[in-house]
């Protein structure tokens, strides 16, 4: 719709925003009228009409099986649209016109904002639905007529209505209550009756004051939504929720105005008990998952502490070093779980994880020298399946660069990240002594990369679905370790 308005019309941005607001709420009008709605806007040059939006009813058959969006019609081919635009009033034809092999009755209304014409709204009802209507249908269509009149007056849609769609927002078919200007129920659809029976109502709603009925059904001793009385009176286009006796209702009010005078209102209602229950289950599951990550982190920290205690009792330097490496790896995994325990989704802000934790490996690895570590580029969000192996890879590479590349000298280790979608290019660069000529991954000293390099290679090729290479830095001294891998899709936030 935005593209059509921009490319095919000369509408001002404020008028285009008004039409988007109308289209965002016109499904209710379509359902009440049992009719298709088409929004016509004058095309650039003023010689044609262009349809920028089309809505079909969920309460009845559609008048047009083919979508009307993008259709251009010369002026004169749609006389009702021309007349509504020229006269600034509702126009209804006498007999149904035969359009696209079906009998369709059409009503058109000029869409106005601040006293200016913006577009024309056409309502198309199939002749199949033009039979002896029930009381529900009569009420629906009467409400639709009032709303169409409000469109002409520039009072619908309402700018005071919520701009976001709340989960479980009620629709016409979920339940409708028609109120007079004092909040007395003139008509309640069968679904609306069922919704209030779920709250504990006995008897009919018709003829009763809706706020009084609702106050008798809910517990008012505790907190109550402050907007609830206004919604139940139909005075403002607001929304409210009611929860009592194990049931949950979502309510939406739509004031009805004729010639500037409020004549009543609509209250759409929906039983959202099951929906709210599922939301609570999801919240509970999220909290449980975060608690599991928190406990795993605590357990891993306990393991790291036990390894530290054990290393203090061992005299062998090789055994002490091996326990220190194991303790570092366990602490890295614990750091990932700590991050996951503090998020509300299944993804890790890996830049923050690197900055706050993993680069500390440089300081821990060189107690007698000054090693500086820094990050350039961005990792972005990383899924939980990739966060742990990637964290272990970076920790191992940074630690190895400090312990073996810098070899107790002052120096710098840089972690470079380039992310393009799911593809990650990682480089760990140091300005140390470089690789020995006989370097072999996983081989023992003097030229071997040791257990750390073998762990890194296994993690990159197995868990991260990538490749890793070691090479001497050119130009200048030092080593460059390059990792090219493919990360998994990050869950949507």
Range of the domain at 468: 345-493
How many Å apart are CA 490 and CA 384, to the nearest integer?
A: 8
Instruction: Give the rounded percent of residues in the chain with a pLDDT score beyond 70.
Output: 86
What are 258-289's pLDDT values in tens digits?
988 999 999 999 988 877 667 666 666 667 77
Q: Which residue, 334, 354, 371, sits at the end of a domain?
A: 334
| Residue 161 is assigned to a structural domain of this protein | no
Number of domains the chain contains: 4
In three-state form (DSSP H/G/I as H, E/B as E, the rest C), the secondary structure along the chain is CHHHHHHHECCCHHHHHHHHHHHHHCHHHHHHHCCEEEEEEEECCCCEEEEEEEECCCCCCCCCCCCCCCCEEECCCCHHHHHHHHHCCCEECCCCEEECCEEEEEEEEEEEECCEEEEEEEEEEEHHHCCCCCHHHHHHHHHHHHHHHHHHHCCCCCCCCCCCCCCCCCCHHHCEEEEECCCEEEEECHHHHHHHHHHCCCCCCCCCEHHHHHHHHCCCCCCCCCCHHHHHHCCCCCEEEEEECCEEEEEEEEEEEECCEEEEEEEEEEECHHHHHHHHHHHHHHHHHHHHHHHHHHHHHHHHHHHHHHHHCCCCHHHHHHHHHHHHHHHHHHHHHHHHCCCCCCCEEHHHHHHHHHCHHHHHHCCCCCEEEEEEECCCEECHHHHHHHHHHHHHHHHHHHHHHHCCCCEEEEEEEEEECCEEEEEEEECCCCCCCCCECCCCCCCECHHHHHHHHHHHHHHCCCEEEEEECCCCCCEEEEEEEECCCCCCC
CA dihedral for 10, 14, 15, 21, sign (positive or negative): positive
Neighbour-count burial for 5-41, b at 16+ CB within 10 Å, e otherwise: beebbebeeebbebbebbbebbbbbbbbbbbbbbbbb
| Residue 228 is assigned to a structural domain of this protein | yes
Is 216 in the same domain as 282?
no
What are 133-148's pLDDT values in tens digits?
789 999 999 999 999 9
Is 22 in the same domain as 132?
yes
How would you classify the pairing of strands 102-113 and 116-126? antiparallel
Q: Is the pLDDT of residue 23 over 50?
A: yes
What are 435-468's pLDDT values in tens digits?
877 777 654 544 445 677 888 899 999 889 999 9
Q: Is the pLDDT of residue 184 over 80?
A: yes
Lowest mean pLDDT among 183-192, 346-355, 367-376, 481-490: 367-376
Give the CATH number of the domain where residue 141 resides: 3.30.450.280
What are 146-169's pLDDT values in tens digits?
999 999 999 998 877 654 445 558
The residue-averaged pLDDT of 220-237 equals 81
Q: Model pTM?
A: 0.61
| Residue 159 is assigned to a structural domain of this protein | no
The residue-averaged pLDDT of 76-92 equals 92
Lowest mean pLDDT among 7-11, 285-289, 390-394, 396-400: 285-289
**Sheet bearing 371-377, strands edge to edge:** 371-377, 411-420, 423-430, 479-486, 467-472
| Residue 123 is assigned to a structural domain of this protein | yes
Is 263 in the same domain as 279?
no
The residue-averaged pLDDT of 169-176 equals 91
Instruction: Give the rounded percent of residues in the chain with a pLDDT score beyond 90.
Output: 40
Is 353 in the same domain as 322?
no
Q: How confident is residue 101, by pLDDT bands cut at 50, 70 and 90? A: very low
How many Å apart are CA 173 and CA 178, to the nearest integer?
A: 14
Is 290 in the same domain as 426?
no
Give the CATH number of the domain where residue 483 resides: 3.30.565.10
Lowest mean pLDDT among 237-241, 301-305, 347-351, 356-360: 356-360
Is 490 in the same domain as 369?
yes
Is 253 in the same domain as 182?
yes
| Residue 42 is assigned to a structural domain of this protein | yes
Q: What is the pLDDT of residue 446?
A: 43
Q: Is the pLDDT of residue 175 over 90?
A: yes
> How large is the angle between the packed helices 384-400 and 317-340, nearest 10 degrees?
150
Q: How confident is residue 292, by pLDDT bands cut at 50, 70 and 90? A: confident
Is 314 in the same domain as 208?
no
Is 263 in the same domain as 305?
no
Give the CATH number of the domain where residue 239 resides: 3.30.450.20
The residue-averaged pLDDT of 289-312 equals 82
Q: How confident is residue 356, by pLDDT bands cut at 50, 70 and 90? A: confident
Q: Is the pLDDT of residue 378 over 90?
A: yes
Is 370 in the same domain as 252?
no
Q: Which residue, 93, 123, 153, sits at the end of a domain?
A: 153
Q: Is the pLDDT of residue 87 over 60?
A: yes
Is 380 in the same domain as 477?
yes
| Residue 375 is assigned to a structural domain of this protein | yes
Q: Which residue, 334, 359, 378, sits at the end of a domain?
A: 334
Find all residues with CB under 8 Å of 486, minimum gap 6, and list them: 422, 423, 424, 464, 465, 466
| Residue 167 is assigned to a structural domain of this protein | no
Is 321 in the same domain as 189?
no
| Residue 164 is assigned to a structural domain of this protein | no
């Amino acid at each position: 719709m935005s593209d059509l308005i921009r490319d095919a019309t000369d509408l001002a941005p404020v008028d285009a925003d008004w039409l988007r607001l109308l289209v965002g709420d016109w499904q209710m009008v379509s359902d009440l009228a049992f009719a298709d709605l088409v929004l016509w806007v004058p095309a650039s040059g003023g010689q044609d009409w262009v349809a920028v939006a089309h809505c079909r009813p969920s309460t009845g058959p559609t008048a047009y099986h083919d979508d009307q969006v993008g259709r251009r019609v010369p002026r004169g081919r749609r006389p009702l649209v021309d007349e509504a635009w020229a006269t600034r009033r509702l126009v209804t034809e006498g007999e149904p016109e035969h359009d696209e092999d079906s009998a369709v009755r059409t009503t058109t209304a000029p869409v106005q904002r601040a006293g200016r014409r913006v577009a024309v709204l056409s309502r198309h009802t199939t002749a199949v639905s033009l039979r002896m209507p029930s009381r529900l249908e009569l009420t629906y269509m009467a409400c639709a007529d009032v709303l169409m009149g409000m469109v002409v007056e520039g009072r619908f849609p309402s700018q005071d209505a919520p701009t976001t769609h709340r989960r479980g927002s009620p629709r016409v078919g979920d339940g409708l209550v028609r109120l007079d200007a004092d909040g007395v129920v003139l008509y309640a659809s069968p679904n609306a009756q069922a919704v209030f029976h779920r709250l504990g109502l006995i008897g009919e709603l018709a003829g009763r004051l809706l706020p009084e009925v609702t106050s008798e059904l809910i517990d008012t001793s505790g907190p109550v939504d402050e907007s609830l009385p206004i919604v139940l009176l139909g005075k403002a286009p607001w929304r409210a929720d009611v929860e009592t006796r194990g049931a949950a209702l979502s309510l939406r009010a739509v004031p009805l105005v004729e010639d500037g005078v409020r004549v009543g209102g609509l209250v759409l209602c929906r039983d959202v008990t099951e929906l709210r229950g599922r939301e609570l289950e999801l919240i509970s599951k999220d909290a449980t998952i975060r608690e599991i990550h928190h406990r795993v982190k605590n357990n891993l920290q306990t393991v790291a502490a036990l390894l530290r205690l054990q290393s203090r009792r061992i005299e062998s330097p090789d055994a002490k070093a091996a326990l220190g490496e194991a303790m570092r790896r366990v602490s890295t995994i614990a750091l990932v779980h700590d991050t996951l325990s503090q998020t509300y989704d299944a993804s890790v802000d890996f830049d923050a994880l690197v900055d706050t934790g993993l680069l500390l490996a440089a300081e821990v690895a060189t107690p007698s020298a000054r090693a500086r570590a820094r990050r350039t580029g961005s990792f972005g969000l990383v899924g939980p399946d990739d966060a742990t192996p990637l964290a272990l890879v970076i920790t191992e590479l940074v630690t190895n660069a400090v312990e073996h590349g810098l070899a107790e000298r002052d120096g710098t280790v840089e972690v470079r990240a380039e992310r393009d979608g799911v593809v990650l290019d990682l480089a760990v660069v140091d300005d140390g002594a470089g690789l020995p000529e006989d370097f072999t991954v996983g081989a023992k000293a003097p030229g071997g990369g040791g257990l750390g390099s073998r762990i890194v290679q296994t993690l990159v090729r197995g868990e991260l679905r990538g490749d890793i290479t070691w090479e001497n830095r050119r130009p200048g001294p030092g080593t460059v370790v390059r990792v090219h891998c493919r990360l998994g899709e990050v869950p949507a936030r």
